[in-house]
Amino acid sequence: MTSQPPPPPQSGAQAVPTCYRHPDRETYVRCQRCERPICPDCMREAAVGHQCPECVRDGGREVPQARATFGGAAVAVPRVTWTLLILNVLAYGAEVLRPDEVVQRFAMWSLGVHMGEWWRLITSAFLHSPPPSFWHILFNMWALYAIGPELERRLGSGRFAALYLLSALGGSVAIYLFGTSAVGASGAIYGLFGALFVVARRLGYDARGVLWLIGINVVLTFVVPGISWQGHLGGLVTGTIVAAGFAYAPPRNRTLVQTGIAAAVLVALVLLVTMLPPYGLPLEGAFT
């Protein structure tokens, strides 16, 4: 007794499609981009139909990232501004607990910097007039809160951080050259004032209000006793220069140009401290 062989497959018959990631799963749905079969676990919602995980990932890479007005990633939350606020408040808390020790070790002191205590150029920008004076830190932190987020969104977080720190350093270098000692973030704050003016002009906004703000504060610098005019004007000039470099850098190679400008300002400030002695008279310390 013999058996008949199985009949051949019918003409046009095709194999059942399976998911390209899960070969044991039958599916009749295909990715809208690459047309590979995908099972329910691999389906990703798309504008039309579904896509596979690889196409969704590749498509995300192709979408241009949002940018700040003058370069850098777009800023949704001004994290640098909040970080600077927190650091200033924490430093002030240290002053409340141990005022003499903190101020003596970290305040700006020209002779100390000349003898190698370089950290004072930056740490002094996070200190303020110790208690019972509270208006000093309140004014500076209010100004940072008021204009910091807008500048950070326009410049990008990295550029804003560079602007703030370079302005603070510029104020300290001016104190080193023409003053004796001081504490305060006003050098950095005045740098933000100058940057706000530059950004307003670059974007075509009416900058007269910013000019009034700068003018009033400059007058107060010379009218109110005990304020370091060196720190205020040094920060203002430095911040204006850095902001102008950031705002007016050509779109082509913008990041390279902006980095070069920030580096050039940093090198210039360092050279001023290393090449020149402090010229300030031994006057009583001031706050900025």
Supply the residues annotated as catalytic.
186, 232
Both tokens of residue 164? 């703030």
SS3 for 150-177, per residue? HHHHHHCHHHHHHHHHHHHHHHHHHHHH
Phi and psi at residue 44, to the nearest 5°: -125, 130
Reference 260, options 169, 192, 165, 159; nearest CA is 159
Instruction: Measure the CA–CA gap between 217 and 266, rounded to whole angstroms.
Output: 26
Whether residue 182 contacts residue 110, with contact meaning beta carbons closer than 8 Å, is answered with no
Both tokens of residue 134? 């509270």
Say which DSSP state 287 is in: E
Instruction: Measure the CA–CA gap between 240 and 190, rounded to whole angstroms.
Output: 9
Could you tell me which residues come within 8 angstroms of residue 246 by beta carbon, excluding any fewer than 6 positions away? 70, 71, 155, 159, 163, 258, 261, 262
